[in-house]
Each structure stands twice: as structure tokens, then as C-alpha cells.
Chain A
């Protein structure tokens, strides 16, 4: 059974204080790891897709990296507007119809 574990559950940062969120996964064969951002009262918003170990993607202050067992979402010099819940999801090679297994998320709060 696919498992996705995100840590920490919640993270409070001062504005400008860089940090990383972790997503560890167990799948039979990875066909994609997805990062989403979710604001309160909204649906998840797509950020990145990663496929193979060593791959990196960047968008503004966010950088996602991937190893064979986990992914990190690095946040550099965060701003209050980066406050959100960040979700990680994986697609297993055995999962039909592009189904995803989601983690529980990390709630990030950036304090001015």
C-alpha cells in the first residue's frame, strides 16, 4: 500500500527565515511526485511535478527536490503570503487512471 508522510505537521517561520518541508513516500514504482499549495477555503493549487531522483524544480522562493525515498520543498526567505498548507502526492506505477495518494500536509505560517 502506498504511503505518503509529510513532516512537520505545522511550521512557524519568521519572515526571511528559510526552511524545508519533508515528504517521504513508499511506492512500488514512482511515476510522479506532486506538490500542491492549499489556501484556507480553497482547493489545492498545483506547484511542481518531479519524476526521478536528483530532479529539482524552482518557482519564486520555492524549490522542490527528489530522492528515491523523499522529497523536500525548500522555502527561501519566505514572506507572509507563502503561508498555506503544502500537500505532497505520489503516483505509483501500479495506480490506474493517474490516481494520486496524498499526504496530510504541512501547515506553514510565516510571521511578519
Chain B
């Protein structure tokens, strides 16, 4: 049971480059989330999706874009990389019903912008 899979695990980008962080889940979860985690800070929500074709902004969406064409995949796009986007990015998913269902996380993508 793979759960939530994120690729790549590590990446170094130059300022102004673009890239897509991939996230896929095999649990048929409706809800998916993208977070960033900076040293000494809590996880901050970037974007989320409640199902295929539906996305919405979280707390820190500037500089990012997302799409959700299938239930399984929720890629995060950085169009013009900036040093402030150096961070660890986590994708999470949860089932669609029940308050007691937790979010399940992938192991993250560590991104450095130089």
C-alpha cells in the first residue's frame, strides 16, 4: 500500500526556473492538500482540492499553481522560482467523510532555489 507518493525527493532550481512537484495517492481520497514546512515553522497550507476539477487557495498560495484532473494526482507548479520558495513541500490526502479521518502525508520534496 503506497499511500501518498511525492516526486522528486530533492531538487535544486535556479531563480526564475519553473518546475512541477508531483503528488499521487492510491487511497481514492477526495481531499488533497499541499503544505510547505520551513525550519522552526509549522506546516503552512498552500492549496487544497476537494475533488477532481476543484481547487482552492490556502494560507500561502502566491507563486504557486495547482490542478486536479484526476482523483489520484495533485501536482504543484512553481512558475518563476524565487529564493523565498526554498522549503520542504508536503502533499497530504484524506477521505471525504467523517471528522475523525486524519490527513495522510507523503515524505516530502526538498526544494532549494539558488
Binding site for B on A (CB under 8 A): 4, 31-32, 34, 36, 41-46, 49, 51, 87, 89, 91, 97-105
Are B102 and A49 in contact (CB-based, < 8 A)? yes
Task: Name the distance in Å between A46's Cβ and chain B's nearest Cβ.
Answer: 4
Question: Complex Cα distance A102/B31, Å?
Answer: 18
Decide: A43 and B31 in contact? CB cutoff 8 A.
no
Q: Shortest beta-carbon distance, B2 to chain A, in Å? A: 13
Q: Can you show 12 pairs from A to B with CB atoms below 8 A apart?
A: A4-B42, A43-B4, A43-B92, A87-B42, A91-B99, A97-B31, A98-B99, A98-B101, A99-B58, A102-B42, A103-B42, A105-B42
Q: Is the CB of A43 within 8 A of B48?
A: no
Contact of A42 among B42, B48, B102, B107 (CB under 8 A): B107
Interface string of B15-56 (1 = CB under 8 A from A): 000000000000000010100000011111100101000001
A104 to chain B, nearest CB (A): 5
| Complex CA distance for A4 and B43, rounded to whole angstroms | 11
Once the chains bind, are A98 and B103 in contact (CB under 8 Å)? yes
Q: Does B75 contact A (CB under 8 A)?
A: no
Contact between A46 and B43 (Cβ–Cβ < 8 Å)? no
Name, among A41, A42, A43, A104, the residue most crowded by chain B CB atoms within 10 Å (CB to CB): A43
Contact A51 B56 (CB under 8 A): no
Q: Is B105 an interface residue (CB 8 A)?
A: yes
CA distance A95 to B32 in the complex (A): 15
CA distance A49 to B103 in the complex (A): 11
CA distance A89 to B44 in the complex (A): 11
